[in-house]
Chains A and B, each alone.
Chain A
Amino acid sequence: MKSEAAALLPRGQTPARRGRPWALLLYLTLAVVCLPFLLPMLWMLASSFKTSGAIFGNPFSLGAADLRLANFTEVFTRYPFARQYLNSLYILLITVPVTLLLSSLAGYGFARLRFPGREFAFLLTLTAMMVPSELTAVPQFLIFKTLGLTNTHVPVIVLQVFSATGALAVFLMRQHFITLPRELDEAGRMDGLGYWGVFWYLLLPLSRPALATVAIFALLNSWNDYFNPLIYLNDEALMTLPLALQRFTDPLGGVFWNLTLAAGVLVALPVLAAFLLAQKQFIESLAASGTKG
């Protein structure tokens, strides 16, 4: 059976069978191909320990003197980086649950309930999904300026929730609810549940994978959001991490690369660690958001 399966592969897909030199060559190719993907991250990590003087030297010549954590402490003691980290975290803790709630509510409405204007409302959702949020930046800015909410976190949170991310979340939740058998709803209704009860007690508990998909890309988009914070946040203490990374400069704009890269490690590490722990979910989520968005 096994050999039959192997025979079905096109020639060239079973290099291991062609002997060692061939496999070795392939491994070597793969290693070289990996370099542009892996090296920048390793370089960042290695450089984050260096002094600003040694930063342009060979990054991987890590002597004992090079393993210093001074950059990491300096980032927190001389800059409001801790505050900015908390800003990003608490914004994330608002935007992700709110996105999950709004998108599953709307997704259920679009998938299951019949109401006038449904098709049109859904068309608007698709439009919101397609339009890059940058296009609507000027009118949005005028709204928040009129409300006196520039230089606060309100526009950053609100626009994150209703941006293309939010629309995509609604779209994915709707697609998900359509796949659930309608008999569930009918059984629930016979047992006396209302629309809310069906949604909350029956369908939502069955939606964990879809919710995880939405949560992951909502989380990444919130953590990485750059454009809106760039427009709305001027106060250093209000800034989020993507902006904070560009604040390690001298008064003339010269960049302290050692601090910048150390801070970059602190921003990237949690995300990369989460990716390594839940690779399958991350890839599924990003593929879904990439192909639908």
Chain B
Amino acid sequence: MTPTSALSRHSSPKHGSPRHGSPKQRRQEAMAGLAFILPYALGTLVFIIGPLVAMLGISFTSWSLLDTPKYVGWANYHKLVQDREFLGSLGVTGLFTLGILALNISAALGLANLMNLRLRGISAFRTIIFSPVVMPVVAWALVWKFLLQPQGPVNSALQGLGFQGANLLFTPGTALGTVVVIEVIKSVGLNAVIFLSALQGVPKEILEAARLDGAGRTQTYTRIILPMISPTFFLVFVITLIGALKVFTPIWVLTGGGPSSATTTLLVYMYKQGFGFFDFGYASVIAAALFGLILLTTALQWNLRRRLVFYEE
């Protein structure tokens, strides 16, 4: 038995100091631990966890900037389920999320396969695909807003191709899709890199065995490589899904939620209610709904993880 394993046998399975030492030492350790986390924990309690709880409380009040809060029970929630604009924003959030998921994941996988090519200079390709990820988001959104001006290059080109009056970003029918594409180009590099490292992690022996057994290229890809990287698939799916629910800045900069609410997601709607109309009670209900949605997604993720994903071992 090596000294290392002998030592680690003493520590409890969870990390932390070994459970020995006098009560006094244990108390000292506890005090030190509390002291170490105190600055962060205090701030989080006051500025994040407290407000999270308060948000749920405020959702039962009628409260605007100049008013004092009044308890109104479930009134805000009743209003919420009948509010066409809210239901609309729920639909927009759903479409936006679906669009991001479909486009981002398929593009990321495609890009990862390209990045995995053994070509001279392929690292330059990786750099280029990744660079929008580090580009400041407002600058990125503004360049696209410029490119998508009615008289700007994208619409001019489309009009040249015969699409009369093309105005992608400022027409209700195409605005949401356009925002999705801009957001995917910005962020797909990250998922692509994650897929790339998964592709590179597929053991070569397995691929060789498949080849010797006469598997074709497509077969190898769909029957071996894809199942092997399914944990990564799942990870990418979850982070992209939760990420899509959190998108605010590019939408706000590109369209402000318009035209005619076509890009008003839940967060945009919450911002409008809370900081446009300063209706704190109603904004909090919307926030509570989004919070519920995030909790639901997280719970679903844990449930699906066991059933859908192939793990080695």
Question: Which of A's residues lie within 8 Å of B, judged by CB?
Answer: 5, 7-16, 23, 26-27, 29-30, 33-34, 36-38, 40-41, 43-44, 47, 56, 59, 102-103, 105-106, 108-116, 118, 121, 124-125, 127-128, 130-143, 158-159, 161-163, 166-167, 170, 178, 181-183, 186, 194-196, 199, 220, 223-224, 226-227, 230-231, 241-242, 245-246, 255, 257, 260-261, 264, 267-268, 271-272, 275-276, 279, 282-283, 286-287, 290-291, 293
B72 within 8 Å of A (CB atoms) = no
Q: B128 contacts A113, CB within 8 Å?
A: no
Instruction: List, sorted by A's number, 12 A–B pairs whose CB atoms are closer than 8 Å.
Output: A37-B131, A47-B146, A106-B39, A113-B29, A124-B45, A127-B49, A131-B48, A139-B50, A226-B137, A242-B138, A261-B146, A291-B239
> What is the distance, in angstroms, from A237's C-beta to the closest C-beta of chain B?
19
> What is the distance, in angstroms, from A205's C-beta to the closest C-beta of chain B?
17
* A110-B211 CB under 8 A given contacts A47-B146, A139-B55, A283-B130: no
Q: A102 contacts B43, CB within 8 Å?
A: yes
B217 within 8 Å of A (CB atoms) = yes
Which A residues lie within 8 Å of B191 (CB)? 290
B29, B139, B147, B235: most-surrounded residue (chain A CB, <10 A): B139
Known pairs A128-B48, A161-B43, A224-B137 / 9 extra A-B pairs, C-beta < 8 Å: A113-B29, A115-B31, A115-B32, A115-B34, A134-B267, A159-B47, A163-B48, A264-B136, A268-B135
* A34-B129 CB under 8 A given contacts A110-B37, A167-B44: yes
Chain B interfacial residues counted at CB < 8 A: 105
Which B residues lie within 8 Å of A132 (CB)? 245-246, 248, 267, 290, 294
> What is the distance, in angstroms, from B133's C-beta to the closest C-beta of chain A?
6
A199 and B29 alpha carbons, distance in the complex (Å): 13
Q: B41 contacts A267, CB within 8 Å?
A: no
Which B residues lie within 8 Å of A105 (CB)? 36-37, 39-40
Q: Chain B, 241-282, contact with A by CB distance < 8 Å: what is the 0/1 string? A: 011011011001100000000000001001100110000100
Question: Which of B's residues lie within 8 Å of A, judged by CB?
Answer: 4, 7-8, 11, 15-17, 26, 29-37, 39-41, 43-52, 54-55, 58, 111, 114, 116-120, 122, 125, 127-140, 142-144, 146-147, 149, 151-153, 156, 185, 189-191, 193-194, 197, 204-205, 207-208, 211, 217, 220-221, 225, 235, 239, 242-243, 245-246, 248-249, 252-253, 267, 270-271, 274-275, 280, 283-284, 287, 290-291, 294, 298
Which A residues lie within 8 Å of B15 (CB)? 111-112, 178
Q: B49 contacts A226, CB within 8 Å?
A: no
